[in-house]
């Protein structure tokens, strides 16, 4: 398996990443409002001249590894959409499912990847959301025919009926979740099984999925430049202790099946092809 050689300018990632928490960028912006594209660019331009944000390091000081681009393996393609990634999982011929929908409202990076296969919008049959942050859901509207699935505890956040942080104003997103998932469910589409795991902490309804031997972690975990697994970015994680507890619990559940998992995909850092090892190592080093 070969990672694509696309290099990110890491300060730009660090500059934009705080926007995932939907922090207002101007005095007239309503609390919890999604920043416009111009605001994203303006924020990045100002912050790119500053030192990297503190959130680029984990609790132990390990620097988070920037996204190196996308990668492909049998039946799975991971596409970079600015500072986040989207998983494309092959279903039946000419059909795919997405894991998250990215930050681009026009879903440009995903559609470009599909176009290279001769596929278009209608090829996307389902979107499995790892959680309800806007940088994972903005592209949903570009695929109106796709079934949208999310863990039940995050449905209100996805749809904008609830805010991520207490005291913030909720804002409707226009997204409708067609199926609320529960921990332990298995969804089969086009002969491909998607296993659902609750990993609350980053948000109340954060989910991880296993499909085609890949464990999609969303924002519940990241990787360090040394290749170690880190918990969710503390700057944007609602409940850090719960996040760590969820990771340990997931490791315990999946340990007997470690041979089935060939890669782990993290939404904002480099993914890993060391199977389940990084998660198991994290759990062993953080027993309490």
Could you read off the pLDDT of 194-224 as tens digits, one per residue? 999 999 999 999 999 999 999 999 999 999 9
User: Per-residue pLDDT for 151 more than 70?
Assistant: yes
pLDDT at 65: 86
Integer-rounded Cα Rg, in Å, for the chain is 17
Strand partners, 151: 181
pLDDT at 23: 35
User: Per-residue pLDDT for 226 more than 50?
Assistant: yes
pLDDT at 66: 85
| Angle between the N-to-C axes of helices 277-285 and 240-254, in degrees from 0 to 180, rounded to the nearest 10 | 120
127 within 8 A of 147, measured Cβ to Cβ: yes
| DSSP-H helix ranges across 3-101 | 10-16, 37-47
Phi, psi of 276 (to 5 degrees): -90, -5
Task: Kindly state the tokens that stand for 66.
Answer: 């920037």
3 pLDDT tier (thresholds 50, 70, 90): very low
E strand or H helix at 192: strand 192-198
CA 25-148-86 angle, 5° bins: 60
Which comes out higher in pLDDT, residue 177 or 52? 177
194 within 8 A of 97, measured Cβ to Cβ: yes
pLDDT at 62: 67
Q: How far apart are CA 124 and CA 197, in angstroms?
A: 22
Dump strand ranges (E) for 200-278.
207-211, 214-218, 221-223, 229-231, 263-266
User: Per-residue pLDDT for 4 more than 70?
Assistant: no
User: Per-residue pLDDT for 242 more than 90?
Assistant: yes
Q: How many CB atoms lie within 10 A of CB 214?
A: 23
Task: Kindly state the tokens that stand for 285.
Answer: 């080093």
Residue keyed to tokens 């290099």 = 7
Stretch 142-167: mean pLDDT: 96
**Domains of the chain by start residue, with CATH:** 10-50+66-285 (3.60.15.10)
Strand partners, 266: 218
Write the pLDDT tens digit of every residue in 37-96: 334 333 333 333 333 333 445 444 568 888 877 788 889 999 999 999 999 999 999 999
């Amino acid at each position: 398996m070969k990672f694509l050689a696309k290099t990110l300018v890491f300060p730009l990632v660090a500059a934009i990443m705080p926007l995932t928490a939907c922090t207002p960028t101007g005095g007239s912006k309503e609390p919890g409002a999604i920043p416009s594209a111009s605001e994203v660019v303006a924020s990045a331009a100002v912050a790119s001249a500053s030192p990297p944000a503190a959130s680029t390091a984990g609790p132990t000081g390990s620097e988070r590894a920037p996204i190196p681009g996308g990668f492909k393996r049998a039946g799975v393609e991971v596409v970079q959409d600015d500072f986040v990634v989207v998983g494309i999982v092959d279903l039946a011929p000419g059909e795919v499912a997405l894991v998250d929908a990215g930050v681009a409202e026009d879903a440009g990076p995903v559609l470009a990847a599909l176009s290279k296969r001769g596929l278009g919008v209608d090829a996307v049959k389902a979107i499995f959301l790892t959680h309800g942050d806007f940088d994972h859901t903005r592209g949903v509207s570009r695929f109106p025919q796709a079934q949208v699935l999310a863990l039940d505890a995050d449905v209100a956040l996805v749809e904008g009926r609830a805010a991520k942080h207490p005291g913030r104003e909720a804002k409707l997103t226009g997204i409708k979740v067609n199926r609320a998932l529960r921990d332990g469910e298995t969804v089969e589409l086009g002969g491909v099984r998607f296993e659902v795991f609750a990993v609350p902490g980053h948000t109340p309804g954060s989910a991880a999925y296993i499909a085609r031997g890949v464990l999609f972690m969303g924002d519940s975990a990241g990787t360090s430049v040394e290749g170690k697994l880190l918990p969710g970015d503390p700057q944007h994680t609602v409940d850090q202790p719960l996040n760590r507890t969820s990771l340990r619990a997931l490791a315990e559940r999946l340990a007997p099946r470690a041979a089935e998992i060939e890669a782990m995909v993290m939404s904002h850092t480099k993914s890993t092809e060391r199977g389940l090892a990084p998660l198991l190592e994290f759990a062993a080093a953080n027993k309490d």
